């Protein structure tokens, strides 16, 4: 099994993701420069957080035209796994691999703090080691995390169980104050129809060690790694 972490000019959580995969998941991982196009060696691609292309035009809008993104599109179409975190989620939405868009936070501020998210669907390759309804404590760090989609898209996401994480309070309740950025339906993470592409604003890679205030994020990487291992066996 091999992971790849894509590096755009302006990515800044690439080393965190690399560290978690190599040290905590214990799997081989490469950095992939955004000019690369060959992803055939990989089972899972992580699009990390940061400010690709300085967030110019719109967050993720320019990164989606990078050569590697054409390959990520094909990679995802073949059912292989793509995890977009923060800026990675923004890029996946801009690229049309996930529906909707991430807009400026409701209160306009850059928010950098730990929040709670509820696991809305534990039946995915990324969340099967978590309990349905479990509350995770994960950090967010973004100015454009306000998830928006139209009514039809929201219905579809709900109906198909593709809302994976929602912002909540420490007891798992959805309230207006537990929604940090104004996201529609408190959405913090969604997946595609094939359930092999997940985008989320919170940073699980920054929450894999108790020393960092939370290790709740590690189950997401471990879920993915065990999914890949099982697929390799069968």
Q: Which residues bind other proteins (CB under 8 A)?
A: 57-58, 61, 65, 93-94, 99-101, 103-108, 146, 148-150, 182
* Contact assessment for residue 189 and residue 200, using Cβ atoms and an 8 Å cutoff: yes
Helix (H, G, I), strand (E, B) or coil at 136: strand
Least Å from the CB of residue 185 to other proteins = 14
Residue (100 or 189) nearer to other proteins, CB: 100
Any catalytic annotation for residue 205? yes
Radius of gyration of the chain (CA): 16
* Selected catalytic residue, list 94, 120, 203, 208: 203
Least Å from the CB of residue 22 to other proteins = 35
Residue (24 or 106) nearer to other proteins, CB: 106
- What H or E segment, with its residue span, contains residue 75? helix 67-77
Residue (31 or 148) nearer to other proteins, CB: 148
What string of DSSP letters covers 137-188?
EEEEEESS-EEE--HHHHHHHHHTT-EEEEEE-TTS---STT-SS--GGGEE
The torsion angles phi and psi of 190, rounded to 5 degrees, stand at -135, 165
Least Å from the CB of residue 180 to other proteins = 13
Least Å from the CB of residue 39 to other proteins = 24
Q: Tokens 């108790």: give the residue.
A: 210
Residue (94 or 205) nearer to other proteins, CB: 94
Q: How far apart are CA 95 and CA 90, in angstroms?
A: 9
Helix (H, G, I), strand (E, B) or coil at 50: strand
Residue (146 or 214) nearer to other proteins, CB: 146
Any catalytic annotation for residue 78? no
* Selected catalytic residue, list 86, 93, 191, 208: 86
Torsion, Cα 28 31 37 41, to 10 degrees, reads: 0
Least Å from the CB of residue 104 to other proteins = 6
Torsion, Cα 34 35 41 42, to 10 degrees, reads: 20
Helix (H, G, I), strand (E, B) or coil at 228: helix
- Active site positions, annotated: 86, 203, 205
């Amino acid at each position: 099994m091999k992971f790849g972490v894509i590096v755009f000019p302006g990515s800044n959580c690439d080393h965190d993701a690399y560290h978690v995969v190599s040290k905590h998941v214990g799997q081989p991982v490469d950095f992939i420069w955004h000019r690369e196009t060959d992803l055939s060696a990989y089972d899972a691609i992580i699009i990390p957080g940061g400010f690709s292309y300085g967030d110019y035009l719109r967050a993720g809008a320019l990164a989606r035209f990078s050569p590697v993104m054409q390959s990520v599109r094909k990679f995802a179409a073949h059912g292989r796994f793509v995890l977009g975190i923060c800026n990675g989620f923004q890029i996946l939405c801009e690229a049309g691999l996930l529906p909707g868009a991430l807009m400026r936070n409701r209160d306009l501020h850059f928010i950098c703090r730990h929040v709670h998210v509820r696991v809305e669907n534990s039946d995915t390759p990324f969340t099967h080691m978590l309990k349905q309804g479990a509350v995770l404590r994960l950090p967010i760090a973004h100015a454009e995390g306000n998830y928006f989609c139209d009514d039809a898209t929201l219905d579809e996401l709900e109906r198909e169980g593709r809302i994976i994480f929602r912002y909540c309070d420490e007891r798992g309740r959805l309230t207006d104050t537990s929604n940090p950025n104004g996201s529609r339906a408190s959405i913090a993470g969604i997946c595609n129809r094939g359930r092999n592409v997940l985008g989320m604003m919170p940073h699980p890679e920054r929450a894999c060690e108790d020393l960092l205030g939370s290790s709740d994020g590690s189950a997401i990487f471990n879920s993915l790694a065990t999914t890949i291992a099982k697929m390799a066996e069968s």
